[in-house]
Amino acid sequence: MPSDRPGANLPPLSLYVPEPRFRPGDTVDFTEVPVPPAGQARRPDTAEPASAFTDLAYDLVRVLDADGQAVGPWNPRLSPDTLRAMLRSMVTVRAFDERMFRAQRQGKTSFYMKCTGEEAVAVSAAFALDRDDMCFPSYRQQGLLIARGWSLVDMMNQIYSNKGDRLQGKQLPIMYSVRDASFFSISGNLTTQYPQAVGWAMASAAKGDTRIAAAWCGEGSTAEGDFHSACTFASVYRAPVIFNVVNNQWAISSFSGFAGAEATTFAARAIGYGIAGLRVDGNDALAVYAATAWAAERARTNQGPTLIEHFTYRVEGHSTSDDPGQYRSAGEASAWPLGDPVTRLKDHLIAIGEWDEERHIAQDKEIAEMVRAAQKEAEANGILGHGLHQPLDSLFDGVFEEMPWHLREQQAQMLAEETASGRPWARK
C-alpha cells in the first residue's frame, strides 16, 4: 500500500563524514593543494574596509619564490641583520624542541609538544609585533618567547617543574606564563585565550593605550564557542587584536575537515563577522612577518581586528603522547608542497648573498651547544621524574589574594598529616 508519509518517494538521506586524503600506507599526492605563485596576492591599504578585500581570505599571501627571492607587494624588505636574527630564532626553537623531546623520552619530564615545521608562525610574528604587545598563545608558540630573548633555562625549569620553576609546578609542562615578555599564561582548555585577548585589547583601547593583542589557536579550535564569541566582540567593538589560526592540517588525530576545511578556508570565517581576513603561507617567514605587520598597523590605527590563517603542516605528532603513524601517511610531511620554513629562510639569505652553508652549519652547532648547556643548568634544579621539588604548602599559593578560612584549615590539616607521617614537606 502507498505510504501517506510526505516524501516517501524520495531517496533516503545520507550522512557525510569527512575523511582525510591519506591514511597510513597510502601514497601521498598533494597536487590538489592550490599553491599560487609567490607575489601574486595584492596588498590593500590598511585603511581599506574589510569588505573590500574578501578575496584575500581565499588566496594565499606568499613572498618567497622557488628561487629563494622575495617578490611581490607583501615583501617586507627586511634588513639582512633582521633576517639572520629571525633565522637564528627559528633554529633555536627547533634545537630546543629536539632536546626537550628527548628529555621526555628519557623520563625527565612528563609531556612535551614540538612545533617542527611551524617555527615561522610564532618567530616572524614576534619580530613584527612590538615587544609590549600582549600575546595570548596556544601550546605551540614557544617561538614567541625564544624570539623575544627569554631565558631557555627558565622555560626548561617550567618543563621540569623543578625548584627553579616560577609557576611552582602548577602548570602542565610547556604551559608557560611570562608577564615580563608579554606572554599570557597558556591554558589547556582550547581557545579560552581568544576572548581573553579581545578583552585585553578592548581594555587597551578604552585606556587610550597603544598596545595591541595577538592570539593563536589551531584550526580545530575554531569549532569552539570561545572562538566565535571572541570574533563577535572584536567585530562589534573594533578591538585592536590579531587572531591567528594555525591550520597545520591536524587537530590531534582529527584532520582539518572536521573543523570545516573542506567547505572553505579558515580565513573566510572573518568575512561573516565583517573583519579583515588573510590567508598566508605559514612556512614563508617573510609572508608571516608581512601579514602580521599589516594587521598590527591596522589595529593600531583603529581599523579593527584581523584574522590570519597560517596554512602550514604539523610535521611531528600532536605531542609526546601521540603517534601520528596511526592515523596519517608517513610520507605527508616530506611531500608537503610549502616546504620547510627554516630551509626556505636560509635559502633566501643565501640567494641574496647574506649567508652560506658553512655559516649555517656552524650556527647549528653553536645553538645545539647553547641549548645543551641550558638543559644542564636547568637540570641542576631537578627534573620532574625525581619527585616533588616545591614545598607542599605552596600548593595553596597564588589562588586567592587572601586565603579564605576553609583553605587555611585544609592547609593546616595537610601539614599536620605530613608531619605525622614523617615526610615533612612543609616550607622551610
Give me the pLDDT at residue 33, please. 94
Give me the pLDDT at residue 1, please. 53
Q: How far apart are the C-alpha atoms of 333 and 28, rounded to whole Å?
A: 9
| Closest residue by Cα to residue 193 from 142, 276, 136, 245 | 136
Give me the pLDDT at residue 426, please. 47
For the chain, list residues with pLDDT below 70. Answer: 1-3, 423-428
**Cβ-based burial of 255 (10 A; exposed 0-12, middle 13-18, buried ≥19):** buried
Task: Read off the amino acid at residue 234.
Answer: A
Give me the pLDDT at residue 398, please. 81
Q: How far apart are the C-alpha atoms of 220 and 247, rounded to whole Å?
A: 8
Q: How far apart are the C-alpha atoms of 118 and 266, rounded to whole Å?
A: 17
Identify whether the C-beta of residue 174 lies closer than 8 Å to the C-beta of residue 150.
Answer: no
Task: Give how far Cα 405 sits from Cα of 31, 81, 98, 402, Å.
Answer: 64, 57, 46, 9
Our measurement of the distance from residue 199's CA atom to the centroid of its chain's CA atoms, rounded to an integer in Å, reads: 20
Give me the pLDDT at residue 418, please. 83
The residue to which cell 627569554 is assigned: 150
pLDDT in tens, 307-332: 999 999 999 999 999 999 999 999 99
Contacts of 257 (CB under 8 A, 6+ apart): 18, 19, 20
Give me the pLDDT at residue 8, please. 76
Give me the pLDDT at residue 141, please. 98
